[in-house]
Amino acid sequence: MLTLLFYLYENLASSLHFFDKLKGSDYLTNTGAVLMTQFTGKHVLSVAQFEREAIEKVFLVADSMIPYALRKKRTQVLEGAILGNLFFEPSTRTRVSFGTAFNLLGGEVRETTGMRNSALAKGESLYDTARVLSGYSDIIAMRHPQEDSVAEFAEGSRVPVINGGDGTNEHPTQALLDLYTIEKERKFHDEGIDGLNIAMIGDLKYGRTVHSLSKLLCLYKDLHFTFISPQELSMPTYICDMIANAGHKLTITDQLEGSFNADICYQTRIQEERFPSQDEANKYRGKFRLNQQTYTKHFQSKTVIMHPLPRDSRAQANELDNDLNLNPNLAIFRQTDNGVLVRMALFALTLGVEDKVSDFDRPVNWYSNKGQS
């Protein structure tokens, strides 16, 4: 009897200690991920982890990374640290951006690309892969084609994991860099994110970037969302409900017509890799093309044009025409630059060096014109 009582006491004490830890600096979101009240040692799996205070902290640290990204100086704050860059789904920008961000902080990068080139193709579980590869790394960035796969991987990881995209589910770092871009573009006009009018165009069903961005935008006030897509590719109902519950205005249409009083036009490509067949994807390719003529017809002269890239420039799609390249409101390449800053910030915060970066400054010994581009 005494043994039983002691066992119950020990388990109760352990449970109380566990919940006390959750009550402190960290606690769980409804996704099971830890809310980002503190960053050090934590996984970054979902935009649901972020409240405005945490977002502002990321953006403040991202701003401090600008001199390093522009090669005005360099830092070795993460010298000796290793990033495991695991991309089990094709990627160019996101994969290279993560690697570049880590290198700019002085760290080293080890990569694996493609499912067929990994032990997963031999039947290894995500848990086992995580246990092994986290032994080789100090932090891991991961992309995987299946929903919730990165969170499953994180359960087995011994180091922090950052979600680089999991199927049609989420792309939290893309959403953060998109939001960071919106904030910087709005500041140019002496405006903030509150009160924003944003139009999202294209494949809103399979486009995880618009899902994650919409969730983050719900943290702000007095927004107007306009969703423009074929009915078959409309924004998921739960996102629309979230927007409505946050008190924002929402317009849904399947036509690119009339005048959109939008501050931001966020264009997306048809996510052909997520369709059941290529023929099904081809039905929608080129449905909503944006060129200078259609831009002038439907949007304000100051409307910022965004796109998560890659833009499909093939003739049958051509969703963002090259004749927009000289439009000063085309922000797509500013987005990619901002992605490096945001990912640098997340690495610095997650590894607890955000206040030490300048302590490890070094001069840049080579010529660079990045500050002039």
Q: Is residue 7 part of a domain?
A: no
Q: Is residue 205 part of a domain?
A: yes
Percent of the chain clearing pLDDT 90 (strictly above): 67
Are 122 and 184 in the same domain?
no
Are 84 and 221 in the same domain?
no
3-state secondary structure the chain: CHHHHHHHHHHHHHHHHHHHHHHCCCCECCCCCECCCCCCCCCECCHHHCCHHHHHHHHHHHHHCHHHHCCCCEECCCCCCEEEEEECCCCCHHHHHHHHHHHHCCCEEEEEECCCCCHHHHCCCHHHHHHHHCCCCCEEEEEECCCCHHHHHHHHCCCCEEEEEECCCECHHHHHHHHHHHHHHHHHCCCCCCCCEEEEECCCCCCHHHHHHHHHHCCCCCCEEEEECCHHHCCCHHHHHHHHHCCCEEEEECCCCCCCCCCEEEECCCCHHHCCCHHHHHCCCCCCCECHHHHHHHCCCCCEEECCCCCCCCCCCCCECHHHCCCCCECHHHHHHHHHHHHHHHHHHHCCCCCCHHHHEECCCCCCCHHHC
What is the per-residue pLDDT across 89-146, written as a single tens digit (0 to 9) for each? 888 899 999 999 999 999 999 998 866 666 666 667 999 999 999 999 999 999 998 9
- Pairwise CA distance, residues 42 & 39, whole Å: 5
How many CB atoms are closer than 10 A to CB 4?
Answer: 8
Domain range for residue 281?
173-333
Percent of the chain clearing pLDDT 70 (strictly above): 83
Both tokens assigned to 82: 């290793």
Residue type, 115: M
Are 244 and 221 in the same domain?
yes
Q: How many distinct structural domains can be found in the chain?
A: 2
Are 186 and 95 in the same domain?
no
CATH value at residue 263: 3.40.50.1370
Both tokens assigned to 282: 């081809």
Are 316 and 200 in the same domain?
yes
CA distances from 121 to 126, 207, 229 (A): 11, 26, 36
What average pLDDT score do residues 310-335 get? Answer: 88
Which of 61-65, 258-262, 293-297 is most confident? Answer: 61-65
- Pairwise CA distance, residues 247 & 270, whole Å: 29
Q: Is residue 89 part of a domain?
A: yes
Are 158 and 286 in the same domain?
no
Confidence of residue 3 (pLDDT cuts 50, 70, 90): very low
Q: Is residue 251 part of a domain?
A: yes
The residue whose two tokens read 């660079």 is 368
Q: Is residue 20 part of a domain?
A: no
Give the contacts of 335 (CB within 8 A, at least 6 positions apart): 177, 178, 181, 306, 307, 308, 309
What average pLDDT score do residues 335-343 get? Answer: 97
Q: Is residue 360 part of a domain?
A: no
What is the per-residue pLDDT across 179-236, written as a single tens digit (0 to 9) for each? 999 999 999 989 999 999 999 998 899 888 999 999 999 999 999 999 999 898 999 9
